[in-house]
């Protein structure tokens, strides 16, 4: 596939994903979508230019509508994770839920901090447990409790965050958990600055400054990609 064909395929993927968002939410215009996602309309234009659906949109659409991020991005079924919702109201349960008892998994919840006087890399240290529905479970899942406010309002302090350790390939604009020296586990939006050969670690809370890492070798710090968040709204 040549460059033009690749660009066309990427644009088609974004447009298809945005059409799925409009159809699932009943919204017709960018103004309505921006209001739903609590973003500026210009943010939609920016996302279209980058040809990338931000993770913050996926989280919001899951929280409000139970929409499956994989369905939004690629059309993969099921469309909903759990019960279908219209806005804040649950209206029906997907057909596949009938006839069998849904599974739940008791998962350890790990602290993001390093132990006192720790020198080595971050390690999974359970401090509590959380019951996770089948749709949220993955073989490489690790659950942590958000201990800082740097990712607010997307991820609140105290939220439960699901991280898929099998998804470590960096996609610019996505949310990842990283093992940082002296800090432990941190969750940041990663932006690939290819011009300067670096990764920008960005917080959603503008009170926190960006951090940077050299692109070469930084993939080793990736623990996994954020795939869901459970928090009060």
pLDDT recorded at residue 84: 59
Q: Which residues contact 17 (CB under 8 A, 6 or more apart)?
A: 53, 72, 73, 74
Radius of gyration of the chain (CA): 18
d(CA 170, CA 145) in angstroms, rounded, equals 22
Q: State the CB neighbour count (10 A cutoff) for residue 189.
A: 21
Question: Could you give phi then psi for residue 60, rounded to 5 degrees?
Answer: -60, -45
d(CA 200, CA 93) in angstroms, rounded, equals 40
pLDDT recorded at residue 80: 82
pTM given for the model:
0.58
Show the domains of the chain with their CATH numbers. Answer: 3-97 (1.10.260.40), 104-230 (2.10.109.10)
pLDDT by position in tens, the chain (length 233): 555 554 555 567 889 999 999 888 888 888 888 888 889 889 999 998 889 999 889 988 887 788 889 899 988 888 888 655 555 434 344 444 445 556 788 999 999 998 776 677 898 989 999 888 888 888 999 999 999 999 999 999 999 999 999 999 888 889 999 998 888 999 999 998 888 999 999 999 999 999 999 988 888 899 999 999 998 76
Per-residue tokens: 34: 């921006």
Q: Which of 159, 139, 169, 144 is nearest to 204 (CA)?
A: 159
């Amino acid at each position: 596939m040549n460059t033009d064909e690749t660009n066309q395929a990427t644009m088609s993927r974004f447009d298809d994903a945005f059409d799925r968002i409009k159809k699932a939410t009943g919204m017709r215009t960018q103004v309505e979508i921006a209001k739903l996602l609590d973003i500026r309309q210009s943010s939609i234009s920016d996302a279209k230019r980058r040809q990338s659906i931000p993770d913050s949109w996926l989280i919001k659409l899951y929280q409000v509508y139970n929409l499956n991020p994989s369905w939004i991005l690629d059309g993969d079924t099921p469309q909903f994770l759990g019960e279908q919702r219209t806005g804040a109201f649950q209206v029906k349960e997907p057909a596949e839920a009938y006839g069998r008892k849904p599974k739940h998994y008791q998962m350890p919840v790990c602290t993001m901090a390093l132990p006192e006087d720790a020198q080595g890399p971050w390690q999974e240290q359970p401090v509590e447990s959380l019951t996770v529905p089948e749709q949220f479970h993955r073989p490489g899942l690790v659950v942590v409790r958000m201990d800082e406010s740097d990712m607010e309002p997307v991820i609140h302090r105290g939220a439960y965050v699901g991280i898929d350790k099998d998804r470590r390939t960096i996609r610019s604009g996505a949310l990842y958990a990283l093992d940082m020296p002296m800090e432990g586990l941190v969750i940041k939006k990663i932006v690939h600055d290819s011009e300067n050969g670096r990764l920008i670690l960005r917080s959603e809370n503008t009170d926190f400054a960006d951090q940077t890492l050299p692109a070469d070798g930084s993939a080793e710090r990736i623990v996994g990609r954020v795939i869901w968040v459970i928090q009060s709204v």
